[in-house]
């Protein structure tokens, strides 16, 4: 089995334009969750959902404004975070284009451009719809734009899903390594907040309001550069972390009721530890799936109490950054960075328990 290691990390989040700024803000107890200003709804209404948004954003120096001008925000976040991850790993693309891939998870990419394009079609007619907008109306646009900008010519896959898309991308990356389809893969996720997307979730009662539990929509992009360990060491790259395992367990869970069986969540985490040949006592940090949905949050807490006689420290970054695949990818980047910053942390367990029953857990260890 080829051993996969993480050599670079990056994140563009509502709390920072890079991973270090995001971590500093989290360590300081800051939160990006704030009310959404809307002309049609007065602030503070009981059916009004907050969001974690990035606000004004510049793509420079990673991407010149002239090239960024026509890109949707999700593609901008993706290119910036991808370049940051490559720089973090000191990874030179020249000569490695065919053996480098990109796997991107998303829950919202393409939604904003699609709504704008269809609005133009409906209000002004087909001849008035922008041909420059159309290429960004699909979910795989950010990964495609990043591949063009970075000259990536290896596997290019977008996984469109909610909660667990980033960990699903990591699982897929591991399969590609086993098949020897690539030596290095940018693995991550990207999402762009927009009001129409926000309202859609609000109307199906999925997001948090003063009257009900629910998640808070976030946005951004984050990446790990995952490499074959032999290839990484051959180019002199010191690994930040080793990908010890990533597992998925399906379960019959209604996305509307959002209830989860704690025993199934425990099984997922236990399987990840067994695949990594670790005991629960070897875990030094858990990145929780917790996102504000009471039913699944309580199920995760119950599963942890079953698995661990004494649960290790836990991080719940979705409390401050919101929920979306991009934030799940930021959790992975923070987990790998934690192993670099704090030797002796022990294994880091990262959970993503989807409301629809797609449960994933990954384990990162020191290299």
pLDDT beyond 60 at 257: no
Residue range 330-364, pLDDT digits in tens: 999 999 999 999 999 999 999 998 766 789 999 99
Residue range 149-194, pLDDT digits in tens: 999 999 999 999 888 999 999 999 999 999 999 999 999 999 999 8
pLDDT band per the 50, 70, 90 thresholds, residue 116: confident
At residue 165, the pLDDT reads 94
At residue 41, the pLDDT reads 62
Describe the strand order of the beta sheet including 314-315 as a list of residue ranges.
156-160, 100-106, 184-191, 220-228, 4-12, 241-250, 358-365, 347-353, 283-287, 314-315
Question: In the predicted model, what is the mean pLDDT of residues 232-243?
Answer: 95
Distances (CA, A) of 276 to 5, 115, 173, 246, 350: 13, 43, 17, 9, 13
pLDDT band per the 50, 70, 90 thresholds, residue 223: very high
pLDDT band per the 50, 70, 90 thresholds, residue 1: low
| Helical pair 294-307 and 262-275, crossing angle rounded to 10 deg | 50
Distances (CA, A) of 268 to 204, 258, 285, 329, 352: 28, 17, 17, 19, 10
pLDDT beyond 90 at 240: yes
Q: Sketch out the chain's domains with CATH numbers.
A: 4-234 (3.40.47.10), 243-365 (3.40.47.10)
At residue 267, the pLDDT reads 95
Helix (H) or strand (E) holding 145: helix 141-150
Integer Cα distance of 141 and 119 in angstroms: 19
- Average pLDDT value over all residues in the chain: 92
Question: In the predicted model, what is the mean pLDDT of residues 217-221?
Answer: 96
- pTM here is 0.94
At residue 168, the pLDDT reads 95
pLDDT band per the 50, 70, 90 thresholds, residue 261: confident
pLDDT beyond 90 at 20: yes
pLDDT beyond 90 at 260: no
pLDDT beyond 60 at 45: yes
- Percent of the chain at pLDDT above 70? 95
pLDDT beyond 70 at 46: no
pLDDT beyond 90 at 122: no
Integer Cα distance of 225 and 248 in angstroms: 21
């Amino acid at each position: 089995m080829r051993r996969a290691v993480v050599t670079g990390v990056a994140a563009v989040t509502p709390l920072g334009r890079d991973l270090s700024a995001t971590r500093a803000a989290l360590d300081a107890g800051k939160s990006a969750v704030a009310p959404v200003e809307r002309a049609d709804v007065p602030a503070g209404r009981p059916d009004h959902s907050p969001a974690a948004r990035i606000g004004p954003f510049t793509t420079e120096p990673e991407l010149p404004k002239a090239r960024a001008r026509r890109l949707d925000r999700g593609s901008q976040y993706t290119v910036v975070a991808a370049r940051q991850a490559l720089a973090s790993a000191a990874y030179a693309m020249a000569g490695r284009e065919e053996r480098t891939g990109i796997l991107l998870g998303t829950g919202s990419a393409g939604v904003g451009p699609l709504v704008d394009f269809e609005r133009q079609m409906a209000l002004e007619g087909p001849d008035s719809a922008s041909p420059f907008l159309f290429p960004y109306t699909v979910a795989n646009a950010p990964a495609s734009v990043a591949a063009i900008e970075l000259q990536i010519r290896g596997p290019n896959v977008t996984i469109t899903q909610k909660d667990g898309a980033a960990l699903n991308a990591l699982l897929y990356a591991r399969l590609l390594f086993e098949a020897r389809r690539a030596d290095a893969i940018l693995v991550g996720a990207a999402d762009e907040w927009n009001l129409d997307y926000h309202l859609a979730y609000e109307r199906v009662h999925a997001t948090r309001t003063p009257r009900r539990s629910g998640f808070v929509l976030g946005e951004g992009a984050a990446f790990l550069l995952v490499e074959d360990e032999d290839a990484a060491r051959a180019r002199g790259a010191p690994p930040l972390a080793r990908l010890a395992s990533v597992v998925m367990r399906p379960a019959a869970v209604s996305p509307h009721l959002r209830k989860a069986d704690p025993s199934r969540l425990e099984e997922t985490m236990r399987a990840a530890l067994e695949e990594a040949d670790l005991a629960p006592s070897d875990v030094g940090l858990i990145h929780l799936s917790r996102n504000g949905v009471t039913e699944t949050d309580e199920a995760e807490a119950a599963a942890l109490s079953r698995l661990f006689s004494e649960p290790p420290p836990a991080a719940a970054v979705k409390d401050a950054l919101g929920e979306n695949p991009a934030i799940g990818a930021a959790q992975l980047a923070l987990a790998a960075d934690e192993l670099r910053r704090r030797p002796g942390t022990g294994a880091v367990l990262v959970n993503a328990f989807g409301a629809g029953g797609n449960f994933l857990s990954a384990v990162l260890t020191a290299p």
